[in-house]
Structure 1
Amino acid sequence: MNGLQLDSFQGLIDFAKYFVAALGFLLVFCAIYCKVTPYDELKLVREGKTAPAISFGGAFIGFVLPLHSAITHSVGFLDMLTWALVAMVVQILVFSAVRGIFKDLVKQIEDNQVASATLLAFFSVAIGLLNAASMTY
């Protein structure tokens, strides 16, 4: 193999390492988020409720944005893992903070009230954007 082929192969290995790690973080984030919220998002979505899908989708995107930034701006694989963990913690804290401010949030989402879910989703995405922007050191 020539040098160009070896570089391409190494690039493919690096891609796979980061991509698999990111997918792993997504799965862990989803599992933790579903445990932190007092309602079962996936069950409610399976029942056809829109509100939990909106709030969960916002949290998901709110986590993926800084995860993208962590992959893009990290100086190495361990650095990316560290910042991905930070992004996860921040997104969990967003739910806790919004829940603390809006006392009926959980019941409203369980009752399929889209306004509350949309507000939570917007908070999640907005903080995710700030989180991502803060990772551009």
Structure 2
Amino acid sequence: MAYPRIAVSAILKREDRYLLVLRGKGQSEGQYAFPGGKVEPGEKLGVAALRELHEETGIEGANARFFRLYDLIAHNSDGVLESHYVLAVHLVDAEGDQDAIAADDAVAVGWFTIEEIRSLPTPPSVIECIEYIDRHGHEPEPRVLSMEA
């Protein structure tokens, strides 16, 4: 498999709760994380974040805004590269009356407070994102240029 791979995730917050999915496979299997996954060839990052949100939770999101970029590199115990993902985290909006239902590779889905998330098995990036939002609010949307070849 060629590395690095590009992945996205979507942060959806309702009042004081964040939407997380319990991963059923992949690098974060058994951990709670923001809905997300791999970007398909030719797919824009924001579009991928909204697609993954819908595939894993059934929620139709909107207004995907870039929030954070993570360089996630994992090696096995022998020091051999296991995976390398570049993760583009996005903030998203959604109508408040939509119910989240676990689908695709999500085993479960739920809305959690920061305190609850701190007690769950999560990737470090999830904690970093929610603690930043709790302390500083959402970052201003960066300027992103889209170019067609």
TM-score of the superposition, structure 2-length normalised?
0.24
Larger radius of gyration: 1
Structure whose residues are more often strand by fraction: 2
More contact order relative to length (CA 8 Å, sep ≥ 6): 1
TM-score of the superposition, structure 1-length normalised?
0.26
Structure whose residues are more often helix by fraction: 1
